Amino acid sequence: MKRRLALLLAAATTISLMGCATSNQKPAETTTAAQTQEAKAETEQTEKAEGAKETESQEAEPENGEYAVQPRSIKDRTLKVGLIPVTMNTAYTMTINGAKKQIEDKGLDIELLVQAPASNTSTITEQGNIMESMIQQGVDAIALATESDNSMLPYLRAAAEADIPVFLFNMTELDKDNIYYVSSIGYDQYNAGLEIGKYVAEHYGDKEVKLAILEGYAGIVNTMRIDGFKEGIQGKDNIQIVASQTADWTREKGQSVTESILTSNPDINLIFGDYDEMVLGGLVSIKERGLLDQIDTIGYGCTKDGVAAIENNEMTATIDVGEYGTGIDIIDAVNDFCIEGKSVEKVINRPSKVYDKNNIGELDRVIFE
């Protein structure tokens, strides 16, 4: 711009001088006109160059559906992969164990750096701080579990600017056109809730069911699981929801909430919780009241203790949503993208499966290792 301004000023000065020239100064006038034409041509070239740079910059911005970072082939050193769960509960521990087992089984030169928020509250802020720390450490990739990719968008952009690929897992609210993550890995929360709801509808047929629901923390994860479950039992007039309370995803709260529900609704004959831990807590209260034969319990997550409760005829069913397998899929995606230099699918989901006493023997216990 400075050069362009100088050239224009020079041209303006020349024109002014030309106005004062006499008729015997023709040669000078001709020379000045040539200079003016040259300045004009140079200015046009500068403008074209600036326009080309702008176009080039716009073209460099990835379009929707593409990656903000590109596949790479890192084979000459240990790959450092940060893994950030929402919390260190049983489900995320299964995912981490699956990831570690896949690294071992495939003989991959990957170092897994696991760090979770210290609490179940303000996780977005805490996860953001962890991501910033990992970016500063120069990790090669980040696997992040969070409720919404948009809530973490500033951190996803920061990772992309540092050329660090991010793999999301166990997502619930997802923008598939978001270029700042490579792949979303896990399962469909709503669909898993739908499957367990359909199981209830089919399993109890026309039997009169008075149902209590133990819910996790308010949020998109709980909402999608519960909404899916309710759709699964939709149209079954014999299934009546008589109570629904938050039990904070924990066994302890599951016990106290179940105690309160049973006091207010002694005729309940089914309890569903959208995480096994809450249901296992509820079982303690049920057994203390001697109601194990009266009340069925159905969980979500296929935890080790949940499976044991089914085998002991204490819990009716649970659903395996592939928490362990998600860890395997994370490592496979990281290996493909960061070591083998291959593109990966934008969404990688594991199928869900309901287990009860009739098929619990089919469950591969490797998920608990």
Helix (H) or strand (E) holding 310: helix 304-311
User: pTM of the entire structure?
Assistant: 0.76
- Residue 176 maps to which CATH number? 3.40.50.2300
Q: Do 142 and 200 fall within a single domain?
A: no
**Domain assignment of residue 50, yes or no:** yes
Q: Do 340 and 297 fall within a single domain?
A: no
Concatenate the DSSP letters of all residues of 72-87 into one string: ----SSPEEEEEE-S-
Q: Do 314 and 329 fall within a single domain?
A: no
Among residues 303, 320, 337, the one where a domain terminates is 320
What pLDDT sits at residue 122? Answer: 59
Q: Do 140 and 249 fall within a single domain?
A: no
For Cα atoms 49, 53, 57, give the angle at the middle one, nearest 5 degrees: 170
Q: pLDDT band for position 171 (50/70/90)? A: confident
Q: What is the pLDDT of residues 279-306, one digit of tens each?
A: 999 999 999 999 999 999 999 999 999 9
**Domain assignment of residue 8, yes or no:** yes
**Domain assignment of residue 67, yes or no:** no
Does residue 35 register a pLDDT over 60?
A: no
Q: Do 304 and 341 fall within a single domain?
A: no
Q: How far is CA 310 from CA 67, 155, 184, 196, in A?
A: 44, 41, 31, 15
Q: Do 183 and 328 fall within a single domain?
A: yes
Which parts of the chain are beta strand (E)? 79-84, 110-114, 141-144, 166-169, 183-186, 209-215, 239-246, 270-273, 296-298, 317-320, 347-349, 353-356
Kindly report the average pLDDT of the chain as a whole number.
85
What pLDDT sits at residue 40? Answer: 47
d(CA 224, CA 72): 35
**Domain assignment of residue 230, yes or no:** yes
**Domain assignment of residue 108, yes or no:** yes
Q: If you search the block for the tokens 């399993």, which residue do you land on?
A: 203
Q: If you search the block for the tokens 């819990």, which residue do you land on?
A: 315
Q: Do 116 and 225 fall within a single domain?
A: no
Stretch among 7-16, 99-108, 351-360 having the lowest mean pLDDT: 7-16
What pLDDT sits at residue 176? Answer: 82
The total number of structural domains in the chain stands at 3
Q: Do 200 and 178 fall within a single domain?
A: no
Instruction: Summarize the confidence of residues 52-73 as an average pLDDT.
Output: 58
**Domain assignment of residue 249, yes or no:** yes
**Which domain, by its residues, includes 12?**
2-60
What pLDDT sits at residue 190? Answer: 93
Stretch among 40-49, 258-267, 312-321 having the lowest mean pLDDT: 40-49
Does residue 225 register a pLDDT over 90?
A: yes
Instruction: Summarize the confidence of residues 178-185 as an average pLDDT.
Output: 93
Share of the chain above pLDDT 90, in %: 70
What pLDDT sits at residue 170? Answer: 86
Q: Do 88 and 129 fall within a single domain?
A: yes
**Domain assignment of residue 356, yes or no:** no
What pLDDT sits at residue 148? Answer: 64
What pLDDT sits at residue 124? Answer: 84
Q: Do 120 and 236 fall within a single domain?
A: no
**Domain assignment of residue 53, yes or no:** yes
Q: Do 274 and 175 fall within a single domain?
A: no
